[in-house]
Amino acid sequence: MIEFLYNHTMATFTMALPQKKFYRQRAHSNPIADHCIEYPIKPDIMDWTVLYSNIIPIFDTNRSIKILNKFVEFVDIGCGYGGLLVTLSLMFPNNLIVGMEIRVKVSDYVIDRIAALRSQFPDQYQNIACIRTNTMKYLPNYFYKGQLKKMFFLYPDPHFKKAKHKWRIINKSLLAEYAYVLAENAIVYTMTDVKDLHEWMVQHLTVHPLFLRIPIEQLTSDPIIEKLYESTEEGQKVTRNNGDKFLAVFRRISDPYLNSKEEFLIT
């Protein structure tokens, strides 16, 4: 439900922030099931201009391919109700940020929330957007190789049952896709209140040859770190329940195989 507020001073209407009670949905969603989701068959045909007002498309000579002046660089996987998106928007006004959420009503809430914020603050929040999609299936359909600089996995579904561990958003197969869309030196942020899931994510990222864990002492200069604890609704819930929060941050490193191959060819 979308409400409008009347500003008597400016004599204009603005959208009110959405209320979660109108967007209730189950906390979990089966990522393996077939969902009615529209997605691009390749990054070339993804029209980002409908999501961001500060993207200016320039067509090629045949007017068949849009050449964009800006590209999405930050992705919040399973963005929930959009708390991190809103926080990052003001921290990085020059970066395009997208949240990806599989739950239809939750993604609807985030879309309406961003629209309301843009309505109330026309000069802000133009750099964030939300897409309802299944990143476990379609992530490479949206992004080019090496496009992303930051990826966030905050409080992902733990899928406690061993038979459903294959549904976890961090796994061996998906890490290959994440490494593909991430630029060298890009950062991956993970946080959860489930110790078993934290250890699972750390283990899988650690053994992957293209990710290197960043020591905690090197994270003190990263302004994003402190925002990860309270910016999301799930993080605030964990705080209210006096729960633990487990953080792990990784860097996407260069391919050691390609480097050694280049050295061999040179010698």
**3-class secondary-structure state, position 246:** strand
Residues 99 and 164: their CA atoms lie apart, in Å, by 24
> Which CATH number do you get for residue 206?
3.40.50.150
Q: Which H helix or E strand runs over 72? A: strand 72-77
Domain holding 59, by residue range, is 4-266
Contact status, residue 209 vs residue 178, Cβ threshold 8 Å: no
Q: What is the pLDDT of residues 6-51, one digit of tens each?
A: 554 554 567 888 887 777 766 666 666 666 788 999 998 898 989 9
User: The tokens of 53 are what?
Assistant: 């007002």
Contact status, residue 81 vs residue 64, Cβ threshold 8 Å: no
Give the pLDDT band (50/70/90) at residue 199.
Answer: very high
| Predicted local distance difference test score (pLDDT) of residue 11 | 46
157 in catalytic set: yes
| Predicted local distance difference test score (pLDDT) of residue 152 | 98
What does pTM read for this prediction? 0.87
Contact status, residue 233 vs residue 154, Cβ threshold 8 Å: no
| Binding site members for S-adenosyl-L-methionine | 78, 101-102, 134-135, 154, 232-234
Reported as half-sphere exposure (CB side, CA atoms, 13 A), residue 190 has a value of: 26
Give the pLDDT band (50/70/90) at residue 60.
Answer: low
User: Number of structural domains, the chain?
Assistant: 1
**3-class secondary-structure state, position 17:** coil
| Binding site members | 78, 101-102, 134-135, 154, 232-234
| Predicted local distance difference test score (pLDDT) of residue 62 | 64
Give the DSSP per-residue string, 192-234: ES-HHHHHHHHHHHHHSTTEEEPPGGGSTT-THHHHHHHSSHH
Nearest to 43 by CA among 74, 85, 76, 72: 72
Percent of the chain with pLDDT over 70: 84
Nearest to 225 by CA among 152, 146, 147: 152
Residues 24 and 227: their CA atoms lie apart, in Å, by 25
Catalytic residue among 123, 157, 193, 196: 157
Give the pLDDT band (50/70/90) at residue 213.
Answer: very high
Q: Which residues contact 145 (CB under 8 A, 6 or more apart)?
A: 180, 181
